[in-house]
Amino acid sequence: MTTEQIVDDLDRAVGSALRRPGDDEYDTATQPRNATADQHPVAVVAATSADDVRRAVRAAADAGLGVAVQATGHGAAGTVGDDVLLIDTRRMNGVSVDPSARTARVGAGATWAEVNAEAATHGLLGLAGTAPDVGVVGYTLSGGIGWLTRAHGMASASLRRVEFVDGDGEPQVADEQENPEALWAFRGAGGVGIVTAVEIDLVAVPDLWAGYRLWPITEAESVVAAWTDALGQIDETLTSAIGFLKAPDAPVVPEALRGHRVVHLSAASVSGEAGFEPLERALRAAPEPAIDTTGPCDEKRLAVIHLDPPDTVPAIGDGGWLTASTPAHALAILSALGVGDDAPLAEMEIRHVATTVAAHADGAMTSPPGPFLLHVVGPAPTVDDRRTVEQAIDVVRAAVQPVETGRAAASFRDGQTTVPGAFADDEEERLRSVRQRYDPHRRIRRPRSV
């Protein structure tokens, strides 16, 4: 059968949601936010309903094709070839909040900006990450670490119910009563099917304070020392991150620092100004920052304090969970590549994510596997750039060795196709067997194999 005939068959089975190569919407859907991924699926299903998803998976099964799913493409990696039908969920972005239950029902394609805009009207927030345009489902299924992690746990633990289509195209539900094994896999290990909607817990944060500070990189030693000094006195109401960042050429950065490497300290407190006190005290030993935006905060301001790039970026990154000894090594890790403006990584960051909450939710990863998280990332528009970034990542890995937990952080391996060591052996085995049950023909393709 020719590719054309396969697409004609898909068209008949899927109907008006099918987009062929050459269609504008096919082109848009195959330009993921992480532009290192090359995507030329046989066709795209511009899904608007769970029925579209069900029809797409069945049609792919009949045609002997694999199925991949994408909302924003932030998590894209590797090639999606013409043996795959791509389901584009962006239009399935409905959000409805139940303020009395403090939950939200979220469509498969909704972003955190869309969910938190709605949640905030009820004085609530979801457990978003740093970037507003990341998809709720992709983020939550792979764990989800954000500004409320220390106070309220990982997003995967806030997952109550999942509506999904399994590898045979059957609609299913996973919650504590029905298909609890599937729910276990959806909570942090990517799950077992194509999600059409989720129900998540929301939290009330009436006294949110947050912001970022920037210093020239020459102040790195004293700022990192102040942050690490403060960590012992900070309680779980404050989540913070320190990074060496190539500052964007944007109005949020003082002009003198734009395009230069800077120290970026960002933090959020759910106990208002009081949560910041230990950090403020420690920072008196460091020079004044070039900018300090810390103050009362809403969901919109919270979504920009990390200075994530707003545009499509071809990025290669790495992430791993680190031990409690990290503060003593933080400066060495962040300086491992030197601190010049031309260092190949755009960002090297350590997040303090230690938390004791949320261990109640049974899931593959519902609490951080280490108290600190390392994330490093660099732009890789060409093969040569990719090699350079990968070599830089190797240098950082060597610096991190003394504080490694041995656990990789799947979400933060930008543009990479594997995540060795994301889970313990017995968890990997359990995941394999749950996936075998819901997708026996291994129809569902994921960019990053755990």
Ligand X SMILES: Cc1cc2nc3c(=O)[nH]c(=O)nc-3n(C[C@H](O)[C@H](O)[C@H](O)COP(=O)(O)OP(=O)(O)OC[C@H]3O[C@@H](n4cnc5c(N)ncnc54)[C@H](O)[C@@H]3O)c2cc1C
* Lookup: tokens for 378: 């660099």
**Whole-angstrom distance, CA of residue 33 vs CA of residue 71:** 10
Give the shortest CB-433-to-ligand X separation in angstroms: 19
Binding site for ligand X (CB under 6 A): 32, 69-76, 89, 108, 129-131, 134-135, 137-139, 141-146, 190-191, 194-195, 308, 411, 446-447
Task: Return all residues near 251 (Cβ < 8 A) that are at least 6 apart.
Answer: none
**Phi then psi dihedrals of residue 326, to 5 deg:** -55, -45
Query: Least distance from C-beta 160 to ligand X, angstroms?
Result: 16
CB 306, min distance to ligand X, A: 7
- Rounded distance, CA 54 to CA 190, Å? 19
**271 or 312: whose CB is closer to ligand X?**
312
CB 168 within 8 A of CB 61: yes
Residue 283 or 315: the one with the smaller Cβ distance to ligand X is: 315
Q: Which is nearer to ligand X, 138 or 289 (CB)?
A: 138
Task: Tell me the C-alpha distance between 409 and 377, whole Å.
Answer: 13
CB of 383 to ligand X, least distance (A): 21
Cβ–Cβ under 8 Å, residues 120 and 220: no
Q: Which is nearer to ligand X, 63 or 108 (CB)?
A: 108
Q: Which is nearer to ligand X, 194 or 358 (CB)?
A: 194
CA angle 321, 355, 318 (to 5 degrees): 20
Distance CA 207, CA 321 (A): 29
Per-residue 3-state assignment (H helix, E strand, C coil) for 324-343:
CCHHHHHHHHHCCCCCCCCC
Looking at beta carbons only, is 142 or 294 nearer to ligand X? 142
Please state, in angstroms and rounded to a whole number, the distance separating the CA atoms of residues 24 and 226.
51
- State the residue number with the nearest CB to ligand X: 138
What 3-state class would DSSP assign to 409?
coil
* DSSP string for residues in 52-104: HHHHHHHHHHHHT-EEEEESSSTT--SEE-TTEEEEE-TT---EEEETTTTEE
Task: Tell me whether residue 289 or residue 415 sits nearer to ligand X (CB atom).
Answer: 415
Nearest distance in Å: CB 218, ligand X? 27
Least CB distance from residue 82 to ligand X, whole Å? Answer: 18
Nearest distance, CB of residue 12 and ligand X, angstroms: 24
Quote the least distance from Cβ 324 to ligand X, whole Å. Answer: 20
- For ligand X, the closer of residues 84 and 202 by Cβ is 84
322: phi then psi, degrees, rounded to nearest 5: -115, 160
- Residue ranges in 257-372 assigned as alpha helix (H): 272-283, 299-302, 326-334
Least distance (Å) between residue 375 CB and ligand X:
8
CB-nearer residue toward ligand X: 141 or 290 = 141
